[in-house]
Structure 1
């Protein structure tokens, strides 16, 4: 890619910019934030690490949305973070107005870009942006499952002592307490994870995965997670920028897959240079289907709230 814009120069946005620059996934990164001088300071700080990390990506920042002009991809991280005890849905009302304004800026200044949504609640806000732009689902998608799957893999590595590099996991559903970790599809170098972890311990890992973000928020107290979310974004950008055709769990608009329409949910997707190339439909057993439908209901409840905001 030539240019990636990041909306929101907070901790997730800043860390995302740092990783994208270090990995040279584009030639230029633009940071946009409504706070005067903040994004300029972040861009300058990161650019001054270029001699150490040996990257040649240029960074700029501005509180003028026109800085996004010419973007190939816009990563949306703006919005109010949740506080301890809050769910991702609790920040919906506060963040809808922000996201609507951001979407209008993208339409005005980067009409040919794709949009990667990170702001919470990500499933509902991905749906909102898709409805507001009218763009194809290949161009509007969200980050959630990549992060949730990485958390599950980390917990499995911690439990088993195996290298995290050999652990493959998948998580479906909404990015919240109703997410659906899929242990049946989780492996350690191709071997089903159930060969190494007792059922009750695996159930505990599934529950910990569902509450992975809340656990970090409770420990940090003054900040939600930002290192792992930024790394998850970078992994998705890498798949798109380098046309890797990677299978990754992403928030996608469903068009009949899993029996659902008119909703954005976390499902396995193929990412390539076109963005979200296609949705992959997995066979679900009765328990997985029940959990998935429970997650669908939670996301639909938030989507219905949009009409009231």
Structure 2
């Protein structure tokens, strides 16, 4: 694994290896790096959870974090995103974490650079590290993905989280279902759309999506109470969920819109567990990438692959 930019490109073996690495890190911690390494976080879109969890992950691994602020960078002088990334590579960055508002921009950078690139969200394209922390949260709960019924609810067509999760869960043997307003469905994703009240009763995982108003071409005006009643997770719907079913949300959460306020921290909610798992899984991705490039400790992927088969 040279980059981590798309879940669509990942095999079941590779995903399981990352989950195993995350579990090992959580259980045993990490060994200190044997040399000074630098990570640069290039965020061209606002972020709290993703950016801060990458910073924590990098520092826990012992990396030096290069400070980058798009608003005060040479981008304001007309420099391209590629030249910005190439500059950081040239001055010694060993790893780039990139969030960009244009889909596939990060994938293109990964093809043009020689250092590992991690996709921290590319427009409405993909968000593979968010997906990995979602998968890890599910794995902690169910220990398997085979036959798991996962319902993804909300603004599917604008959601990079929905796309990455759908690809990965299918690869791992789970059953993926969507529920959405008709105009927010994505015809490119070949998964069934179900009535929300019907699907709620049959699924093991209910994942709510934030409404991506900033990506809507039209000026969407929401009646919050109406949206929650028709398309959100209400208290009445939560009561119909299976006893063991859990609630996920990639956050930020619009309380009272995608999900009733009282359910954000209810007993079956794993929303803040997801955030905690974001640090561990991002550490796993970084460690795997640096190992693959021969920068850190011995990579045990080949032995794991043999065992997994």
TM-score interval (norm. to shorter): 0.3 to 0.5
Q: What is the TM-score with the length of structure 2 in the denominator?
A: 0.38
Counting strand residues as a fraction of each chain, which structure ranks higher? Answer: 1
Whose RCO is larger (CA < 8 A, sep 6+)? 2
Q: What is the TM-score with the length of structure 1 in the denominator?
A: 0.38
Instruction: Choose 1 or 2 for highest CA Rg.
Output: 2
